[in-house]
Amino acid sequence: MSASFFVPVRFVGVVGGDCPFDLVKVFAGRDVDLTGLEIRKESKTFRWAGTYHENMDDRTTDLTELNVLAEAPPSVPKEFKDSKYVFLANTTPALQLQLLEQIDEPEFVAVDTMNLWIEGHLDDLKTLLKKIHCLIINEDEARMLATESNLIKAGEIILDMGPSVVILKKGESGSIMCSSDGDKFILPAYPATEVKDPTGAGDSFAGGFMGYLAQSGKVDFETLKTAIAYGTVVASFTIADFSLSGLTSIDRADIDERLEILRKLTTF
């Protein structure tokens, strides 16, 4: 949804028969190709539940049910195999590897991961990190993966594991990008006063980031910086409401307008 503000999107994913949404309807009127959507009638959809603390940034996970994510990955449709900009959303590194192997010659692959895989699937994750361009990761998870408490040093340690770009997400405090060329970029979050539900902020960030890169057709550092700003702005709309409602009520002009506000807010 987030990336579709920028470019046509090819969706690959799997839900169970219990999925409460008709995803074809959800994406109706948007340039999102759902050929890669698999609905497994006999399986259950991935579920996560958590409690946000009063600052709406820290959260406690109450429940994680992998369900379909513990099964075989969906297969990438033949007509998607020439995709150039690939985002591997959060799932086990082994599944991410299997999905990536189905893409012919990706130009830029970004990956999300989480504490569960750093703790329990570190070897797979390290194999994956050697094959991708960009890791997008929460600050606490970055410290865990790097076993280093200083966040900037942690970013540099992760760069040594393979990716040429690491994006460290700091929730309400924005994000830091480190590149293997030694370039860095730091951007605060958009100062949101309306925060109803931060769930999905990270995925919205990744979608806006990847969407802008794909639209630009290049991944030099200046373009990556602007892409982070777009990801930040799209996420700021997501958290203003539950589910996808923060995104379904806006258009690209709203995003561009807020990008210029963010630029003004951070320039001295």
Which residues here bind a second copy, judged by CB under 8 A? 54-56, 143, 149-153, 170, 172-174, 176, 184-188, 191-193, 195, 222, 225-226, 228-229, 263, 265-268
Q: How far is the CB of 195 from a second copy (least distance, A)?
A: 7
Q: How far is the CB of 2 from a second copy (least distance, A)?
A: 18
For a second copy, the closer of residues 58 and 82 by Cβ is: 58
Q: What pairing do the DSSP bridges indicate for beta strands 9-16 and 108-112?
A: unpaired
* Distance of alpha carbon 113 from alpha carbon 63, whole angstroms: 17
HSE, side-chain direction, 13 A CA sphere, residue 144: 15
Q: How far is the CB of 154 from a second copy (least distance, A)?
A: 10
For a second copy, the closer of residues 163 and 171 by Cβ is: 171
Bridge partners of residue 37, in order along the sequence: 13
For a second copy, the closer of residues 4 and 226 by Cβ is: 226
Identify which of 45, 52, 50 has the alpha carbon closest to the alpha carbon of residue 62.
50
Q: How far is the CB of 45 from a second copy (least distance, A)?
A: 32
For a second copy, the closer of residues 47 and 53 by Cβ is: 53
For a second copy, the closer of residues 55 and 248 by Cβ is: 55
Q: How far is the CB of 14 from a second copy (least distance, A)?
A: 36
For a second copy, the closer of residues 60 and 149 by Cβ is: 149
Q: How far is the CB of 68 from a second copy (least distance, A)?
A: 36
Q: How far is the CB of 184 from a second copy (least distance, A)?
A: 6
For a second copy, the closer of residues 128 and 178 by Cβ is: 178
For a second copy, the closer of residues 85 and 230 by Cβ is: 230
Cβ–Cβ under 8 Å, residues 137 and 128: no
Amino acid 100 reads: L
Q: How far is the CB of 161 from a second copy (least distance, A)?
A: 18
